[in-house]
């Protein structure tokens, strides 16, 4: 589903963000990307959505090499990828329902699809009673659920989550993680960058650890820190 083939990415000012990274993520996997700040986790995710372009190597997503993808095809690539962020990125002036519906409307989905999909997905994330609220009236955990609903409403093949629990307390975090697991059970490949040792250790999923732009560990049922550390 996602394959990095000797990928190197350098930002202006010659900061090396990724150095010769090769990773293969299969369909339906749940993968944690861990590592200190500046280790290249976010760059890894941004290369998948072609928000950044690698200068060396290939990034394959859903059978296409992203680096050589024509610019007009990029939106169609992104329709297969849902994204969740630490800061939610909801539209503050639109209701919960409209935030989720927006994601379908702007890719031209017909109205009847929007009307049937949005309540369904909000039920999945447990917000069916708060559809008419504004994001500002919700708790942080609830806001992140809206963001997950928006990312998943188009049933993407891949869900990318960049520190999705970074702003949440431990209790709320558990809820979001169960939600991501559930989405993963539907067959969506989930890639989550995180700092949260507890989550990683408790879930025992594949862990890719980054350090200074390199993959320093890739472990099938890993924990946050080095096992022998």
Partner 1 sequence: MASAYVLRETGGNLVRNIVMTVAAVVTMAVSLTALGGVLIMRQAINKATVQWQGGVQLAIFMNPGASGQEIKAIGDELHAMVPQEVQKYWWVDKQKAYAEFKEMFAGEPAFIKVMTVQQMPPSYRVVPAKAQNVPQLAAEFNNQPGVHKVGYPQQAINQMLSHFSTLRTVALVLAAGVMVGAIALIVNTIQLAIFSRRREVAVMKLVGATNWFIRVPFMLEGLAHGLVGAIVAFALTYFSRGTIASFVGNNSLNYGAPLYVSPHEAVMTGVFILVVGMLVGTLGSAFAVRRFLVV
Residue 97 makes CB contacts below 8 A (sequence gap 6+) with 118, 119, 122, 131, 132
Pattern 90-129, partner 1, x by CB under 8 A:
-xx---------xx-xxxxxxx--x---------------
Give the rounded distance of the alpha carbon of 72 from its chain centre: 22
The residue from 89, 130, 155, 182 that contacts partner 1 (CB under 8 A) is 89
Nearest in space to 157 (alpha carbons), one of 34, 24, 29, 41: 29
The answer to whether the beta carbons of residues 17 and 214 sit under 8 Å apart is no
Give the rounded distance of the alpha carbon of 85 from its chain centre: 7
# chain residues binding partner 1, by CB under 8 A: 26
Query: What minimum distance in Å lies between the beta carbon of 23 and partner 1?
Result: 23
The residue from 78, 145, 205, 206 that contacts partner 1 (CB under 8 A) is 78
Nearer to partner 1, 25 or 153 (CB): 153
Considering only residues 14 through 73, tell me which ones interact with partner 1, judged by CB under 8 A: 49, 71-72
Query: What minimum distance in Å lies between the beta carbon of 158 and partner 1?
Result: 12
The residue from 9, 150, 205, 206 that contacts partner 1 (CB under 8 A) is 150
Pattern 188-207, partner 1, x by CB under 8 A:
--------------------
Neighbours of 87 (CB within 10 A): 12
Nearer to partner 1, 154 or 194 (CB): 154
Query: What minimum distance in Å lies between the beta carbon of 221 and partner 1?
Result: 31
The answer to whether the beta carbons of residues 83 and 25 sit under 8 Å apart is no
Helix axes 140-152, 111-124, angle to 10 degrees: 140
Nearest in space to 61 (alpha carbons), one of 88, 37, 40, 81: 81
Residue 89 zone, left/alpha/beta (φ > 0; ψ -120 to 50; rest): left
Question: Residue 79, interface with partner 1 (CB under 8 A)?
Answer: yes
Binding site for partner 1 (CB under 8 A): 49, 71-72, 75-81, 83, 89, 91-92, 102-103, 105-111, 114, 150, 154
């Amino acid at each position: 589903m996602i394959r990095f083939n000797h990928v190197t990415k350098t930002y202006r000012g010659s900061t090396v963000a990724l150095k010769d990274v090769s990773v293969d993520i299969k369909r339906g996997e749940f993968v944690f990307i861990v590592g200190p700040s500046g280790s290249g986790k976010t760059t890894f995710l941004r290369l998948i959505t072609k928000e950044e372009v690698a200068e060396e190597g290939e990034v394959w997503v859903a059978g296409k090499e992203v680096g050589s993808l024509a610019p007009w095809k990029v939106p169609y690539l992104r329709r297969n990828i849902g994204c969740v962020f630490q800061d939610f990125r909801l539209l503050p002036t639109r209701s919960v329902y409209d935030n989720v519906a927006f994601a379908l409307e702007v890719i031209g989905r017909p109205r009847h699809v929007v009307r049937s999909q949005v309540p369904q997905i909000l039920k999945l994330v447990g917000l069916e009673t708060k559809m008419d609220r504004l994001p500002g009236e919700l708790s942080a955990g609830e806001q992140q659920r809206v963001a997950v609903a928006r990312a998943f409403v188009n049933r993407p093949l891949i869900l990318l989550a960049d520190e999705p629990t970074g702003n949440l307390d431990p209790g709320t975090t558990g809820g979001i993680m169960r939600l991501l697991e559930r989405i993963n059970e539907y067959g969506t490949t989930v890639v989550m960058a995180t700092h949260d040792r507890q989550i990683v250790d408790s879930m025992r999923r594949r862990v890719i650890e980054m350090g200074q732009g390199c993959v320093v560990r890739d472990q099938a049922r890993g924990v946050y820190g080095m096992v022998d550390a």
